[in-house]
Amino acid sequence: MKKDFLTGRELREQDIYHLFDLTKTYKTSRRKKRFTSLLKNHTIGLIFNKPSTRTRVSFQLAVEELGGRALYLSGDTIQTSRGETVKDTASVLSRYLDGLVIRTYKQEEVEEYAQWCLFPVINALTDFLHPCQALADYFTIWELNGTLKDIKLLYIGDSNNVCNSLIIGADILGVKIMVASPENYQPRDEVLSLVKNRDIVVVDTDPLKFVPEADVIYTDTWISMGDEKEVEERKKIFQPYQVNKKLLAEAKKNFIFMHCLPAHRNWEVTDEVIDSKNSVVYQQAENRLHCQKSLLHFLYSG
C-alpha cells in the first residue's frame, strides 16, 4: 500500500525519530560524497505552483542523490492551469511517474492528487501546511540539543502554514509550543482540531510573556504568498512582533533562533538577530535536504 505525506499526521512519534536517525546518516554520508541508489529507475515529478528556492532545490537534489530522476513541472506549463481536472492529470501521471512532490495553494488539491495517484504524494507546501519544513525544524532542534524532551518553542508572528505544521509536530513529539500573535492572526480551529493534546499549545497576544522560558524562538514572514495586497496593513499590525534585541532582552543566553526563510530582514527580524550566534537559519535550511532524503527513504523502502 502506498504512503503519502500530506499533513505530517501520517507519522507517529517513533516514525519521526526513525527519520531523524536516517537524516543524521544521510547528512554524514553526503559530506563524505557517499550516495545511495534507493530511487534508481524512479522518476519523481515536482509540481510547483508557487515560487521556491529551498524546497525545489532540496527536493531535486534529494531525489537525484538517492539515484532517481527529478522532473520539474511548473504549474503554469501543465494542463491544470488551463482547466484540466486533478483526477485526469493524476491518472495520467500515474502511468509516467513514480512519485509526486507538490507545492501549491489549496491543501485540498494536494489531497486530491493523493486520492488519484498510484504512487506517494508529498506536500511541499500549501497555504494551510508546510510539513516538510516542520520535520526539518524539529530535526535541527533535536540535532542541536540531543533531545526534544522539555523543549519549549516560541513562535512569534503570523500563525501561517509553518506555524500550523509546527503545532502538529509539537503535538506528535510532545514539545510545548507557545504562539504569540495578534488576535485576528492566531491559530485557527482548523489546525487546533488536529491537535490531540491541547495542553501543549499556549496562545497569547504578548510575546514577552513567553520569551524568558523559550528554548527556541521562531518567526516567519508577515507577508506570505498571496498576502501581497495587505503589505502596509500587516506591517503596522505586526511591528510589535518584530524579533529584535529589545524583545529578546529577557531571553535565555543559549536560545536558538529559527526562521524558515525567505526572510524580510528588518521586518519580522532584525539583522543583528538573524546574523547572531543564536541563529541557526542556514543549518535548518540545509537540513531540509537531508530530512527529505529520509522522508523519501521512508516512503519508498517498503
| Active-site residue set | 103, 130, 133, 220, 260, 288
What span, in angstroms and rounded, lies between the C-alpha atoms of 14 and 187?
26
**Under the phi-then-psi rule, with left for phi > 0, alpha for psi from -120 to 50, and beta for the rest, what region is 73?**
beta
- Alpha carbon dihedral 297, 298, 299, 302, in 10-degree steps, equals 100
Neighbours of 244 (CB within 10 A): 15
**Hey, what's the cell of 51?**
515560487
What span, in angstroms and rounded, lies between the C-alpha atoms of 179 and 195?
14
Q: Compute the chain's Rg from CA coordinates.
A: 19
What span, in angstroms and rounded, lies between the C-alpha atoms of 119 and 90?
10
Handedness of CA 108, 110, 111, 113 (dihedral sign): positive
Q: Which of 77, 258, 227 lies closest to 151, judged by CA?
A: 258
Contact 47, 101 (CB under 8 A): yes
Q: Where are the alpha helices (DSSP H) in 146-230?
A: 161-173, 189-192
Segment holding 89, helix H or strand E: helix 86-93
* DSSP classification of residue 230: G
**Hey, what's the cell of 20?**
531523524
Contact 158, 222 (CB under 8 A): yes
Q: What order do you get walking across the sheet with 99-103 strand by strand? A: 69-74, 43-48, 99-103, 121-123
